């Protein structure tokens, strides 16, 4: 785990003064180009972790509900007849959809992936606040990396194949509320990260995390993912 901490070779004392020293070190800490480069690499490496844990959320539901032939891909997860199922549901043919898999179960499976992302964001932020673990903060931002795309698709009116739309279609929840939840998660991951990073370096560090997340997304979805998990 990559720690954004003070130099561990310094003597530690169990005094209030020592705690004050730690805070002062955090504020005055010089973030070198090398450290920023490490943050970029860690943030990039967290993208496949975030993507695959989200997809495993869906996949665990498929297995739990006995869906036919669940498969994990590099950027998605599927079951047999999935596109026909969602197509029938969008056409309002609930009977045809239910003939393939249970509609409510499919809605829950879509929600499981979202839940994993939301929980990852929350726990990652908490872990950084508690332990100063930069990889946890990178993972939180990586888990939020899907939300800008969701927002763009929603604004273009082309979000019908997203998890948010699937939850709305299968469970009858309002799509707009689910998009607002995505906005909230994105704000929490970015603004929340900015606020809890050391004040003197938060701009540079957050920029490094975002650059890393962008590189990781392009690299995983465009190059590495299809090679290792078609």
Least separation, in Å, of the C-beta of 12 and Zn ion? 44
For residues 127 and 31, is the Cβ–Cβ distance under 8 A? Answer: no
Least separation, in Å, of the C-beta of 106 and Zn ion? 12
| Cβ partners under 8 Å of residue 181, min gap 6 | 118, 164
The one segment of 63-71, 97-105, 106-114, 204-212 that binds Zn ion by CB under 5 A: 106-114
Which residues face 133 on adjacent strands? 3
Q: Which of residues 13-42 bind Zn ion (CB under 5 A)?
A: none
> What span, in angstroms and rounded, lies between the C-alpha atoms of 63 and 40?
35
The C-alpha angle with vertex 123 and arms to 117 and 125, in degrees rounded to 5, equals 105
Smaller CB separation from Zn ion, 135 or 162: 162
Smaller CB separation from Zn ion, 2 or 175: 175
| 113 forms part of the interface with Zn ion (CB under 5 A) | yes
Number of residues that bind Zn ion (CB under 5 A): 2
For residues 194 and 141, is the Cβ–Cβ distance under 8 A? Answer: no
The one segment of 80-88, 90-98, 108-116, 152-160 that binds Zn ion by CB under 5 A: 108-116
Least separation, in Å, of the C-beta of 181 and Zn ion? 14
| Cβ partners under 8 Å of residue 153, min gap 6 | 159, 162
| 82 forms part of the interface with Zn ion (CB under 5 A) | no
Smaller CB separation from Zn ion, 113 or 216: 113
Smaller CB separation from Zn ion, 48 or 132: 48
Smaller CB separation from Zn ion, 61 or 192: 61
Q: Which of residues 142-171 bind Zn ion (CB under 5 A)?
A: 163
Closest residue to Zn ion using C-beta atoms: 113
**CA diameter of the chain:** 69
* For helices 134-143 and 175-196, angle between their N-to-C axes, nearest 10 degrees: 160
Q: Is the dihedral of CA 25, 28, 34, 38 positive or negative?
A: positive
Binding site for Zn ion (CB under 5 A): 113, 163
């Amino acid at each position: 785990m990559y720690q954004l901490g003070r130099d561990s070779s310094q003597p530690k004392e169990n005094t209030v003064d020592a705690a004050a020293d730690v805070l002062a070190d955090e504020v005055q800490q010089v973030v070198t180009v090398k450290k920023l480069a490490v943050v970029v690499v860690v943030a990039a490496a967290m993208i496949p972790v975030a993507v695959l844990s989200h997809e495993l959320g869906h996949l665990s539901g498929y297995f739990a509900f006995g869906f036919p032939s669940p498969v994990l891909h590099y950027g998605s997860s599927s079951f047999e007849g999935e596109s026909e199922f969602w197509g029938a549901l969008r056409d309002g043919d609930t009977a045809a959809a239910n003939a393939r898999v249970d509609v409510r179960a499919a809605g829950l499976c879509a929600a499981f992936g979202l839940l994993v992302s939301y929980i990852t964001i929350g726990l990652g932020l908490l872990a950084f606040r508690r332990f100063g673990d930069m990889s946890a903060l990178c993972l939180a931002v990586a888990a939020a990396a899907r939300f800008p795309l969701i927002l763009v698709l929603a604004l273009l009116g082309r979000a019908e194949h997203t998890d948010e739309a699937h939850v709305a279609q299968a469970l009858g929840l309002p799509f707009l509320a689910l998009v607002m939840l995505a906005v909230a998660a994105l704000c929490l991951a970015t603004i929340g990260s900015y606020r809890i990073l050391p004040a003197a370096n938060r701009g540079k560090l957050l920029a490094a995390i975002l650059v890393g997340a962008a590189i990781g997304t392009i690299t995983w979805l465009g190059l590495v993912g299809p090679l290792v998990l078609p």
